[in-house]
Chain A
Amino acid sequence: MRILGAKAIVEALKREKVEVIFGIPGGATIPFYDALYDSDIRHILARHEQCAAHMADGYARVKGVPGVCTATSGPGATNLVTGIATAYMDSSPVIAITGQVPRSMIGKDAFQEADIVGIVTPITKYAFQITSASQIPDAIRTAFIIANTNRKGPVLIDIPKDVQLEEVDFDYSERIIIKGYVVRSGEPHPYSIKRALGLIMNAERPLIIAGGGVIASNASEELIKFSELILAPVVTTLMGKGAIPENHPLCLGMIGMHGRVEANKAVEEADVIIAIGTRFGDRTTGKLEEFAKNARIIHIDIDPAEIGKNVKVDVPIVADAKKALSVLYSKLIEVGYSKKESEWIKRVNYLKEYYAPNYEEKGEGLKPSKLMKILRNIIPGKSIITTGVGQNQMWAALHFKVLEPRTFITSGGLGAMGFGLPAAIGAKVAAPDRPVFDIDGDGSFLMTEQDLATAVSEAIPITVIILRNKALGMVRQWQCLFCNKRYAYTDLGNTPDFVKLAEAYGAEGIRVESYEEFETVIRRSLNAEMPVVIDIPISPDEKVLPMIPPGGSYKEVIWYG
């Protein structure tokens, strides 16, 4: 089949079962878009390329398949950067296709030329340029294999305009060889498993830290079975929220800087920790010397470079979380090991009860924590939450109990403000029959607000909950706690009227000033056919607490601000 390069790209994407592409066309992708126009792949026109990338990311995280975004050369491509970096930090399989100036103009500072491969190399799993149309089929196959195997991550393919216009004999083979890239079986090494079992069976106070890797490998069921068998409480990282239902009796919630104190305390008291699919980020561990210092650590991760990178481990298991957990489980069953009761569980339950009153709301005004609890009580368990970044994100992480994997979508590693709205759009496209809520702040929302136009145009009914404190709240909180209340440039001043703003875009805008109104509006939004923006004024002095000061350990936790 002899076809244009542009057509070959579309054909290849179809072979990879791509159903939707998020993007914005431009000069260097006109041939590609012309071919796309004839295909049955859905195209969602973003209003900013950053959003196109976040949408593809949100889509990928919810659906568990690669999300595809596209942009033209130069500014289109550079606008993708924040979205690509977000996907990289959170190991999300995003494929970015960028147009490039014609081959003869590369390096000549042509109009809308940018060295996007050079720019994104440090924030992608792989980035490369196609230099002839004959490479297209294998290049696209390569991109999908790399993005979606081992530790997942974004891949960028840069395609010069004249390559899109070159003819190619299209031949798509699924089995190709990438010399330096081995797709791991994910099977754990028997010796590591043996050593791990030794530790687990002798543990008095075992604890599991579940990271994003548990969700990426769809290992929730295995995690729950394993934790119940060995009676190990489960704490999660921010990315691991949803790995175990947060109403499960063994779940202690999130650890880290804004983690729940009982969870952080359990990490301190545990004697054996099984950490799964986590890179021990600084927001998770706090002061490394103090982190889990009474525990032997078993670290399960698909990426060998994560073993020993931040935290010294006793037993490394380079494996897929799902496979490692099922092997551990079946070996324990084989030898007849199971725990029926333990002092440790009593201790952990005591901690839960002991700290519970600290999370209760005090004082005047609408409390974000209460709003999160109300939201949880109303919306179905399968509903999807996305977040902005900052206080809104941490309130959601602390107080919204996630019940299913792939339903809490947040920019964990990069912490990219503006992620919430576009990720929600991508999530809703991936799961049209499930309610999607973006829990956002006014600062975050304003960074990508223009893509409400996308949601309205495409009739994608998501609900945006803006916790409006008229401030860059998280930075303000740090200024309050650590800078003697010198609020340097964190006052947003004249924030727009979000109700009118929503209406201007053709969405529904509602202001909510009581818990009752909130409940009513949320219930109503479950059946909305168009995007809804809920504006909730809160005090700028509301803080995310508890908090462990940066570089500190859980002992220095701040409860009251």
Chain B
Amino acid sequence: MVNDFHIISALVEDKPGVLFRVTSLIRRRNFNINTITVGATEKEGISRITLTMRGDEKTVEQLIKQLSKIPDVIKISEVKPEESVYRELAIIRVSAEDPLKRSDIINYVNVFRGRIVDVSKDSLTIEIIGRPTKINAFIEIIKGFGIIEMARTGIVALPRKLKTE
């Protein structure tokens, strides 16, 4: 992973308009993000927004400082990729009319520890979880069979628990 890749994790109040406030600020300040995900946390009333972006340290610092000014943002920090667990889920529907190719696809899915989650007579639907690099690599390989449709969630991340704790 090149070092201009950044993961930012924010705990926000779970109330109407919060995602809008966050994305509105990102647009207004001319930041460019790659992915954004929102979901529940262990605490009721608090959600976690995880966003990823490419950019230099100064840009990331500005983004964090600006976002932390939104009163609904309770806590925000950068999550260093090397010090965190981060995953993405992709669902990919691949063309599989030829039975021979079908087994090739299944083999690749197994190598990448994905799963076939739906089968039809001319396609396979695959679920794959991992770091974005792994998913990108899988897509690169499977592309040749013909990707019909694809959906990716964007990244969710948590910092690793430090050994000293």
Inter-subunit contact A180/B74 (CB<8 Å): yes
Of all chain A residues, the one with the shortest Cβ separation from B11 is: A180
A128 to B17, CA, bound (A): 8
Q: How far is the CA of A129 from the CA of B72 in the complex (A)?
A: 14
A122 touching B70 in the complex, CB below 8 Å, given contacts A180-B13, A308-B58: no
Flag whether B21 is at the interface (Cβ < 8 A): yes
Mark interface residues in A289-318 (1 if CB within 8 Å of B CB, else 0): 000000000000001110011000000000
Q: In the bound complex, do residue A180 and residue B12 qualify as a contact, i.e. CB atoms below 8 Å apart?
A: yes
Which of A117, A128, A305 contacts B65 (CB under 8 A)? A305
Docked Cα-Cα span, A304 to B62, in Å, equals 9
Contacts of A122 in B (CB 8 A): 24-25, 28
- Judge whether A179 is part of the interface by a CB distance below 8 angstroms: yes
Enumerate chain A interface residues (CB-CB to B < 8 A): 117-118, 121-122, 125-126, 128-129, 142, 146, 178-181, 303-305, 308-309
Q: Does B153 contact A (CB under 8 A)?
A: no
In the assembly, what is the distance between CA of A118 and CA of B28, in Å? 13
Contact with A along B4-41 (1 / 0, CB 8 A): 00000000110011001100110010000000000000
**Is residue B161 within 8 Å, beta carbon to beta carbon, of the partner chain?**
no
B144 at the interface (CB under 8 A from A): no
How far, in angstroms, from A305 to B62 measured CA to CA in the complex? 6
Set of chain B residues within 8 Å of A178, measured between Cβ atoms: 71
B107 CB-CB contact with A under 8 Å: no
Contacts known (A305-B65, A308-B58, A308-B61); A121 close to B71, Cβ less than 8 A: no
Closest Cβ of chain B to A95, distance in Å, is 15
Q: Contacting B20 at CB < 8 Å: which of A121, A179, A181, A308?
A: A121
In the complex, are the beta carbons of B24 and A180 less than 8 A apart?
no
Bound-state Cα–Cα, A276 to B12, Å: 31
Residues of B contacting A180 in the complex (Cβ-Cβ under 8 angstroms): 12-13, 70-75
Residues of A near B163 (CB, < 8 A) are: none
Closest to B10 in A: A180
B66 within 8 A of A: yes
Interface SS, A side: mixed
B69 contacts the other chain (CB 8 A): yes
Give the interface of B toward A (CB within 8 A): 12-13, 16-17, 20-21, 24-25, 28, 58, 61-62, 65-66, 68-75
Asked if B62 contacts A309 (CB within 8 A), the reply is: yes
Q: A122-B24, A125-B71, A180-B72 are in contact. List 20 more A-B contacts (CB 8 A).
A: A117-B17, A118-B20, A121-B17, A121-B20, A126-B70, A129-B16, A129-B17, A146-B71, A178-B71, A179-B74, A180-B12, A180-B13, A180-B70, A180-B75, A181-B71, A305-B65, A305-B68, A305-B69, A308-B61, A309-B62
- 18 contacts across the A-B interface (CB closer than 8 A): A121-B17, A121-B21, A122-B28, A125-B69, A128-B17, A129-B16, A146-B71, A179-B74, A180-B70, A180-B71, A180-B73, A180-B74, A180-B75, A303-B69, A304-B65, A305-B68, A305-B69, A308-B58
**Residue from A129, A304, A305 whose CB has the most chain B CB atoms within 10 Å:** A305
Interchain CB contact (< 8 A) of A305 among B12, B28, B66, B73: B66
Give the residue of A179, A304, A305 whose beta carbon is less than 8 angstroms from that of B13: A179
From residue B160, how far is it (CB to closest CB) to chain A in Å? Answer: 25
Minimum C-beta distance from A444 to chain B (A): 27
**Minimum CB–CB distance for A481 against chain B, Å:** 29
Please give me the residue from chain B that is nearest to A309 by CB atom.
Answer: B62
Smallest CB separation, A429 vs chain B (Å): 29
- Whether B58 contacts A121 by the Cβ 8 Å rule is no
Minimum distance in angstroms from B43 CB to a CB of chain A: 11
Rounded to whole Å, the gap between the CB of B42 and the closest CB of chain A is 16
Closest 7 CB pairs of A and B: A305-B65, A181-B71, A180-B74, A122-B28, A180-B73, A180-B71, A121-B24
Q: A309: which B residues are within 8 A, CB to CB?
A: 62
Chain B residues with CB under 8 Å of A128's CB are: 17
Cα–Cα, bound, A304→B67 (Å): 11
Task: Provide the residues of chain B in CB contact with A179, threshold 8 Å.
Answer: 13, 72, 74
A192 vs B70: C-alpha distance in the bound complex, in angstroms?
26
Nearest-neighbour CB distance to chain A for B17, whole angstroms, equals 7
A121–B18 Cα distance when bound, in Å, is 11
**What is the distance, in angstroms, from A22's C-beta to the closest C-beta of chain B?**
25
Distance (Å) between the CB of B70 and the closest chain A CB? 7
**B61 cross-chain contacts in A, Cβ below 8 A:** 308
What B residues does A305 contact at CB under 8 A?
A: 62, 65-66, 68-69
CA distance A309 to B58 in the complex (A): 8
CB distance from B156 to the nearest CB of A (A): 21
Bound together, the chains give a CA A118 to CA B75 distance in angstroms of 23
Q: State in angstroms the CA–CA spacing of A129 and B17 once bound together.
A: 9
Q: Which residues of B contact A181 (CB under 8 A)?
A: 71
Bound CA span A393–B141, Å? 64
The chain B residue sitting closest to A146, CB to CB, is B71
A105 to chain B, nearest CB (A): 17
CA distance A303 to B68 in the complex (A): 11
> In the complex the two chains form, what is the Cα distance from A178 to B17 in whole Å?
16
- Measured between C-beta atoms, what is the minimum distance from A229 to chain B in Å? 32
Chain A positions within 8 Å of B74 at CB level: 179-180
Within the complex, what minimum Cβ distance (angstroms) separates B27 from chain A? Answer: 8
Residues of A near B73 (CB, < 8 A) are 180
Max chain A CB contacts within 10 Å: which of B21, B71, B75? B71
Chain A residue at minimal CB-CB distance from B67: A305
With a cutoff of 8 Å between Cβ atoms, the chain B residues found around residue A142 in the complex are 71
- Given the known interface contacts A179-B13, A180-B12, the answer about A126 and B58 at a Cβ–Cβ threshold of 8 Å is no
Of chain B, the residue at the smallest CB distance from A181 is B71
